[in-house]
Structures are given as structure tokens and as C-alpha cells.
Amino acid sequence: MIKEVKIFPTLIWYYYICPREVWFMARYIVPEQDNTNIALGRLVNEESYSREKKEVRIENIVIDIIKKENEEIIVGEVKKSSRYKESARMQLLYYLYILKQKGLNLKGELLFPKEREKITVELKESDEIKLLEDIQNIEKLIKQGSPPKLVKTRFCAKCGYRELCFA
């Protein structure tokens, strides 16, 4: 059983897709690395926005892109598809929340290069309240002795944990 919980951005991302994945990730049970979707996601991130500053690390977060527009610093999160738009938005809000704790009030952008879509994201007080609630729920979930019950969703078909869940 995990006693001390360290929340990292990927847990926020997975929380909105599948709590079972959060439980696995928190235990460093790595998804199948040959999964085509995981590889494609890495490729999209590497090949997109070549003129921007990429992969900036601040503590336990890795920001995909940081750019300056009109004297404003923008934090960008690149995703291969808008299929998980809410998940991506909450992950980006988590970055903005952590940066705010460090005295940096920045804006964010969700970037979906294959779809040529860009969504501006700003951290509001209501977002902070939701994030803090979700973090508490994630901490409780992680402390459970076994993974949450399998709930089959449309996301299961392309999941890197598919073999583990459906074995």
C-alpha cells in the first residue's frame, strides 16, 4: 500500500480517462511501450512546433512548449488528438496551477497539430477548486490496496494497459 502520494501531471491526465490507469501509473506500472498510440503521441510532440522552446522541466512537470506572444509567456500542451480534450485541459490547468504557486500567472494553449486546433486556457478560481478536489480524489484512489474495478469504455480499445486489464 502506498503511504505517501506524489501527484504528477500524467495522473491528472489519466484521472479523466480511467481511474484504473491512475492506480497503475502511481505504482510505476508502465503501459505497453509498443502501443501504437503511445508511439504516435511521442512522434507528434517531437515533430510539431519546431520553432518553439520544447520540454521545459520544472520539478515534476514537463511542459511541452513555452513561447512568447505579445510580451506574454504561453505554456503549450501538445496532444495528438482532441479526443481527450477535457483530460488535456485539466493537465494544462494543473501546470498553470503549479506555476502560479511559484509566482507565475501564465496562460496556456492546448495544441492539436494534426487537427490544426488551438485552444486558449486560463486558470480561474473555479478551476483551482476543481483541481484541488480532484487531487484529493486521486490521492484516495492511489492509497487503495487494489485497482478500481474495471469499467470498459470507448478508450479501452487503444489503451496501453489493455493487456493488463483484459488478461
Domain assignment present for residue 1? The answer is no
- Give the tens place of pLDDT for each residue, 81-124: 898 899 999 999 999 999 999 999 999 999 999 999 999 999 99
Structural domain of residue 61, as residue ranges?
A: 9-165
Which CATH number belongs to the domain containing residue 90 in this structure?
3.90.320.10
Residue 99 within a domain: yes
* Residue 48 predicted with pLDDT over 60: no
In a domain, 114, yes or no: yes
In a domain, 42, yes or no: yes
Residue range 25-41: mean pLDDT, rounded: 68
Domains held by the chain: number: 1
Q: Using CA atoms, how far apart are residues 40 and 32, in angstroms rounded to an integer?
A: 13
Judge whether 3 lies within some domain: no
| pLDDT, averaged across the chain | 86
34 lies in some domain? yes
Distance CA 40, CA 104 (A): 32
Q: Which residues pair with 65 in a beta bridge?
A: 54, 76
Within 10 angstroms of residue 124's Cβ, the number of other Cβ atoms is 11
Indicate whether 103 belongs to any domain.
yes
Buried b (16+ CB within 10 A) or exposed e, 32-58: eeebeebeeeeebbeebbeeeebeeee
Please give the model's pTM, rounded to 2 decimal places: 0.83
13 vs 9, 30, 58, 94, 134, CA distance in Å? 6, 15, 18, 9, 11
| Residue 4 within any structural domain of the chain | no
Q: Find out whether 161 and 32 touch, Cβ atoms under 8 Å.
A: yes
